[in-house]
């Protein structure tokens, strides 16, 4: 297993409260696999990614659990070891490319600096490789683009540059946090295809963080559905999308615009996410669930097999189907 997160719980402290952003999160990713992490804003997707990279804020603490990368416990690594891991073995594509690129450095210099540091080659060789990296992400006239500043590029081109930057080492694991946000449908499709091709070519695993199940259906082999900092359903993409078991997953699928009835309002999930400062004792989705049972308000469900005959489809729901 390339990456294995087990029972991860993360809390953020303020002057008055503690917010449990993640609770008992378990996710695994195999070599060469593309796994989608899906959920609304605030479900814990990005916090999970930042915990893997050791980039949490100072007010965050890891209450329990572990993260193993290639068998090594990330939490036991020294600061220098973790810094060496970032970029070289684990790359990150942030959701807003303008914040990921240095606004006063030319594109080629930004790429060359990373390549020079991680590959231990001369700066001249690194710059030549930077131009090749731009060509690899299908940027026309890469030698000219390398001399431009980020503000001179379109959103789609900037995102390609960020992917080239993240893949320049190249890493064994790429974490892509909403990589197609604010891009039009055509460019979004091109970016997803690009990531798939790079993963296939280099054997890179991808953790794709998104709120869009349509994106997951396009590129992911497996999907993890998160809600209020917990994993509520996981399995192969086919299992989860064709036979969803958790009411939250069903609601997300029902809210897809492509499935909407013409001339009818889009479906929405009623209510609000629970207050993470005071988690309910039962199911975190119970207050918004149309199938809520008395037990759902009192006892917290655990991830268990969702259906007979499947060793991969798990759901955290008292009302799950077992046959």
Digit-coded pLDDT (tens) for 87-141: 789 998 887 777 789 999 999 999 999 899 888 889 999 999 999 999 988 899 9
Cα–Cα distance, 212 to 293 (Å, whole number): 28
Question: Which 3 state secondary structure label does DSSP give 71?
Answer: coil
β-strands 314-315, 304-305 pairing: antiparallel
Whole-angstrom Cα distance, residue 213 to residue 286? Answer: 22
Contact 52, 3 (CB under 8 A): yes
Helices (H), the chain: 45-53, 79-85, 97-100, 107-119, 123-136, 142-145, 155-167, 185-202, 213-219, 237-242, 247-254, 294-298
Which H or E element spans position 81?
helix 79-85
What pTM was computed for the model? 0.89
pLDDT in tens, 259-270: 666 777 777 888
Q: Which of 89-103, 120-134, 176-190, 226-240 shows the lowest per-residue confidence on average (mean pLDDT)?
A: 176-190
Q: What is d(CA 314, CA 102) in angstroms, rounded to the nearest whole number?
A: 42
- What is the distance between the alpha carbons of residues 263 and 318, in angstroms, rounded to a whole number? 35
């Amino acid at each position: 297993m390339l990456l294995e997160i087990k029972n991860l719980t993360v809390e953020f402290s303020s002057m008055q409260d503690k917010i449990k952003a993640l609770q008992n999160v378990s996710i695994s990713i195999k070599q060469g696999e593309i796994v989608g992490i899906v959920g609304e804003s605030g479900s814990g997707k990005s916090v999970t990614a930042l915990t893997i990279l050791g980039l949490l804020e100072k007010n965050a603490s890891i209450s329990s659990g572990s993260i193993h990368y290639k068998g090594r416990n990330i939490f036991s690594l020294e600061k220098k070891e973790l810094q060496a891991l970032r970029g070289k073995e684990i790359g990150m594509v942030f959701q807003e490319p303008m914040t990921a690129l240095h606004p006063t450095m030319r594109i080629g210099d930004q790429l060359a600096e990373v390549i020079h540091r991680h590959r231990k080659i001369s700066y001249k060789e690194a710059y030549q490789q930077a131009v090749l990296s731009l060509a690899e992400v299908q940027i026309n006239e890469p030698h000219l683009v390398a001399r431009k500043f980020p503000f001179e590029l379109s959103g789609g081109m900037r995102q390609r540059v960020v992917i080239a930057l993240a893949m320049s080492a190249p890493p064994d694991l790429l974490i892509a946090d909403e990589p197609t946000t604010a891009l039009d449908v055509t460019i979004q499709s091109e970016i997803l295809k690009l990531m798939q091709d790079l993963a296939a070519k280099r054997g890179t695993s991808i953790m794709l963080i998104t709120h869009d199940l349509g994106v997951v259906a396009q590129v992911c082999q497996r999907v993890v559905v998160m809600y209020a900092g917990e994993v509520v359903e996981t399995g192969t993409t086919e299992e989860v999308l064709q036979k969803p078991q958790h009411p939250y997953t069903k609601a997300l699928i029902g809210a897809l615009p492509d499935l909407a009835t013409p001339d009818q309002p889009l479906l929405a999930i009623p209510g609000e996410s629970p207050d993470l400062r005071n988690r309910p004792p039962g199911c975190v989705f119970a207050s918004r669930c149309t199938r809520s049972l008395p037990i759902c308000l009192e006892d917290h469900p655990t991830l268990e097999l969702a259906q007979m005959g499947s060793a991969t489809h798990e759901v955290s729901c008292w009302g799950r189907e077992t046959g």
